[in-house]
Amino acid sequence: MKKLMGIAVFCLFIVSCKDGKKKETATNNATKEITKENDSNFQITPIEHATAVFKWGNTTIYIDPVGGADMFKKQDEPDLILVTDIHGDHLNVETLEAINTKKTTIIAPQAVADKLSDNLKTKLTILNNDASVDFANIKITAIPMYNLREEAIKFHSKGRGNGYLLEKGGERVYFSGDTEDIPEMRALQNIDKAFICMNLPYTMTVKSAASAVLEFKPKQVYPYHYRGKPDVSDIAKFKQLVNDGNKDIEVIQLDWYPNASY
């Protein structure tokens, strides 16, 4: 009888251990899912010039995808595409058609919407200056982008294109689009990451870009869209101007031109 009771206790111990392991595994999996769901990690992959892919938690976002589908073959399919303007280095309908957009929402201003195919328009949310929309727990606000210099107003008129402010979990990320150091940029507050363009004659000078950054004080600034033809903006000078004015602003230079030959 004692032997049978011993066997029963041993079997019960095994079952309890197995159940405990199952419960522990289930708890761990649930924790992983919660962590994954709440993950606010922001990862940026520069593609070229004004084109980038970033992941924010579980959301994959393309901004201004151009250059053909091969440029994105190593990237996850987009949940969201942001288009800033109608120029060819920001909008390429052929690229948008070639990318797998079965699960994608496209956000763009009206001027871009007018140039999209009927197929792409079915995925489109029109967002004009100062309007906001929520997508996958990310608040997206269209910030004006335009030229100030008289000789450059023809390149980017006010109201046509969008910069974008994205907010999630208390973090704020700003993409300038093609703009000069406009009041709307200078008035930004509490920006964690700012992607700032600079190239002549189309956007702004290094000095103007640095001046704007010093006014709105992002924690980190990423110079992008800084090569024109033939001019290339002096990113080292930009960093110097920013850090001479405010050592707390981190200037991060990524490789936006992996195939540059000029």
pLDDT at 53: 98
Residue 3 within any structural domain of the chain: yes
Residue 91 has pLDDT above 70, yes or no: yes
Whether 57 and 30 map to the same domain: the answer is no
SS3 label, residue 135: strand
Whether 66 and 166 map to the same domain: the answer is yes
Using pLDDT thresholds of 50, 70 and 90, give the confidence band for residue 197: very high
Identify whether the C-beta of residue 89 lies closer than 8 Å to the C-beta of residue 66: yes
- CA–centroid distance for 95 within its chain: 18
- What ranges in 109-163 are assigned the alpha helix state H? 110-113, 118-121
Rounded to the nearest 5°, which phi and psi values hold at 98?
-80, -25
What are the pLDDT digits (tens) for 122-159?
Answer: 999 999 999 999 999 999 999 999 988 777 778 889 99
Q: How far is Cα 14 from Cα 98, in angstroms, rounded to an integer? A: 56
Whether 136 and 9 map to the same domain: the answer is no
Token pair listed for 154: 């023809």
Residue 171 within any structural domain of the chain: yes
Whether 12 and 93 map to the same domain: the answer is no
pLDDT at 200: 82
Whether 121 and 22 map to the same domain: the answer is no
Residue 188: partners with Cβ closer than 8 Å, 6 or more residues away:
143, 165, 174, 194, 216, 218
Domains in the chain, number: 2
Whether 194 and 237 map to the same domain: the answer is yes
Whether 50 and 124 map to the same domain: the answer is yes
Whether 130 and 16 map to the same domain: the answer is no
Whether 49 and 33 map to the same domain: the answer is no
Q: How far is Cα 79 from Cα 62, in angstroms, rounded to an integer? A: 8
What is the dihedral sign for C-alpha 119, 116, 164, 50?
positive
Residue positions counted in the chain:
262
Using pLDDT thresholds of 50, 70 and 90, give the confidence band for residue 261: low
Q: How far is Cα 208 from Cα 214, in angstroms, rounded to an integer? A: 10
pLDDT at 150: 78
- Closest CA relative to residue 174, chosen from 54, 11, 6: 54
Whether 85 and 24 map to the same domain: the answer is no
pLDDT at 112: 98
Give exposure, 128-148, as e/b (b: 16+ Cβ within 10 Å). Answer: bbeeeeebeebebbbbbbbbe
Residue 136 within any structural domain of the chain: yes
Whether 48 and 26 map to the same domain: the answer is no
The C-alpha R_g of the chain, in whole angstroms, comes to 24
Domain that holds residue 33: 1-38
Residue 36 has pLDDT above 70, yes or no: no
Residue 92 within any structural domain of the chain: yes
Residue 57 within any structural domain of the chain: yes
The CATH number given to whatever domain includes residue 119 is 3.60.15.10
Lowest mean pLDDT, pick from 13-22, 82-91, 103-112: 13-22
Identify whether the C-beta of residue 126 lies closer than 8 Å to the C-beta of residue 103: no
pLDDT at 40: 59
Identify whether the C-beta of residue 146 lies closer than 8 Å to the C-beta of residue 122: no
- The reported pTM is 0.83
Q: What is the mean pLDDT of the chain?
A: 86
Residue 109 has pLDDT above 70, yes or no: yes
Identify whether the C-beta of residue 238 lies closer than 8 Å to the C-beta of residue 198: yes
Identify whether the C-beta of residue 73 lies closer than 8 Å to the C-beta of residue 53: no
Residue 258 within any structural domain of the chain: no
Whether 113 and 181 map to the same domain: the answer is yes
- Closest CA relative to residue 58, chosen from 75, 85, 40: 40
What are the pLDDT digits (tens) for 198-242?
Answer: 988 888 999 999 999 999 999 999 999 998 777 889 999 999 999
Residue 27 within any structural domain of the chain: yes
Residue 233 within any structural domain of the chain: yes
